[in-house]
């Protein structure tokens, strides 16, 4: 370990502990760390857009590749900032409409072609008795689950009678899925904490040992 690495680790440890200190109660260390974090994140965007978008996608291809037409998306991008004015804020709708329109055009097909059709196909084709009893039963459970979930989220008709019974079945399925989701979410959050504790023990703790050795 070098002294530079040592200082680096201590800076990270200082801000990590400052943020964790909020668990005890709000304090100036937490607040300063929080505000520096927000500022650095915003600053990161500036550097990223300057290099990845303005230089790499616009200026360089225009100056070196002669792609003058790239000035059009550049102008559209700049028009976005008109939303900060009172009089011309509507102009920002033009680039926004361009982005939204393109995305919508892609989505109409991809949502149906890439999600609805394959998922429906899989549900229907899985009900093949040739796959054995256990496989068939699992496929049947899935089919019932898919249908009852869809019906539970169908609000155009009151959930009464047969529809109500199916929707009720849907709730049971949904509870199982949400339970699984909760279990996984707990796991995710604990993992993030483990990551920070591993840093504090291995790196920061290691730097303290290095200092005294």
Partner 1 sequence: MSIWMILAYIFLIVFGAWLLYKTFRTGDRRFIYLAVGFYVVFPILITLDLPTSISPEAEQLYDAVDTLPDSSVVMLTFDYYPSTLAETEPMSRAALHHLFRKDCRVVTMTTIPLGGPSIAERVTREVADEYDKVYGIDYVNLGYKANYVAVLKGMGTSIKKIYPTDNSGTPVSEIPMMEDIRNYDDIDFIFVVADNAIVDIWMAIVNAQYDIQVGTGVTAVMAPKFFAYIGSGQMTGMLGGMKGAAEYEALEKQAGTASKGMGAQSLVHLFIIVSVMVGNIIFFFERKPGDKK
Partner 2 sequence: MRTTVPVIIAFLSGFAMILLFFISPEHSKIGTVELEPEVLSWVTIVGGFTLLLGVVSILRVNYVAVQRKKEGWIYNLATLVSIFAMAIPAILPESWSPLLGTGTGSIYDWLFNNLDAPMMSTMFAMLAFYIASAAFRAFRARNAEATLLLITAALVMLWRVPMGEMLLSGIHESIPEKINTYIMNGANLAVQRGILIGAALGAAAMSLRIMLGIERTYMGK
Residue 24 is classified by DSSP as T
H helix intervals, the chain: 3-20, 28-48, 60-65, 71-79, 93-111, 117-125, 133-152, 161-198, 205-212
**Which segment (115-123, 156-164, 205-213) binds partner 2 by CB under 8 A?**
115-123
127 touches partner 2 (CB under 8 A): no
**Which segment (18-26, 158-166, 205-213) binds partner 2 by CB under 8 A?**
18-26
159 binds, among partner 1, partner 2, none (CB under 5 to 8 A by kind): none
Contact positions with partner 1 (CB under 8 A) in 23-52: 23-24, 41, 44-45, 48-49, 51-52
Contact 76, 98 (CB under 8 A): yes
Rounded to the nearest whole angstrom, what is the least distance from the CB of residue 131 to partner 2 in the complex? 14
Determine if residue 67 is left, alpha or beta; phi over 0 gives left, psi from -120 to 50 gives alpha, anything else beta.
Answer: beta
**Which segment (44-52, 156-164, 205-213) binds partner 2 by CB under 8 A?**
44-52
């Amino acid at each position: 370990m070098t002294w530079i690495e040592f200082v680096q680790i201590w800076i990270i440890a200082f801000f990590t502990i400052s943020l964790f200190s909020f668990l005890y109660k709000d304090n100036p260390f937490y607040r300063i760390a929080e505000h520096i974090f927000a500022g650095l994140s915003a600053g990161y965007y500036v550097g990223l857009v300057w290099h990845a978008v303005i230089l790499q996608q616009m200026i360089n291809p225009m100056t070196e590749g002669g792609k003058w037409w790239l000035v059009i998306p550049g102008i559209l991008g700049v028009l976005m900032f008109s939303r900060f004015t009172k009089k011309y804020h509507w102009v920002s709708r033009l680039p926004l409409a361009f982005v939204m329109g393109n995305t919508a055009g892609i989505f109409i097909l991809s949502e149906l072609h890439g999600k609805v059709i394959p998922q429906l196909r899989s549900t229907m084709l899985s009900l093949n008795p040739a796959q054995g009893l256990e496989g068939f039963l699992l496929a049947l459970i899935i089919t019932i689950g898919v249908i009852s979930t869809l019906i539970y989220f169908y609000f155009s008709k009151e959930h009464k009678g047969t529809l109500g019974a199916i929707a009720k079945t849907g709730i049971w399925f949904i509870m199982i899925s949400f339970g699984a989701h909760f279990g996984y979410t707990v796991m995710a959050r604990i993992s993030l904490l483990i990551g920070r504790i591993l840093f504090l023990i291995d790196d920061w703790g290691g730097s303290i040992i290095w200092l005294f050795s």
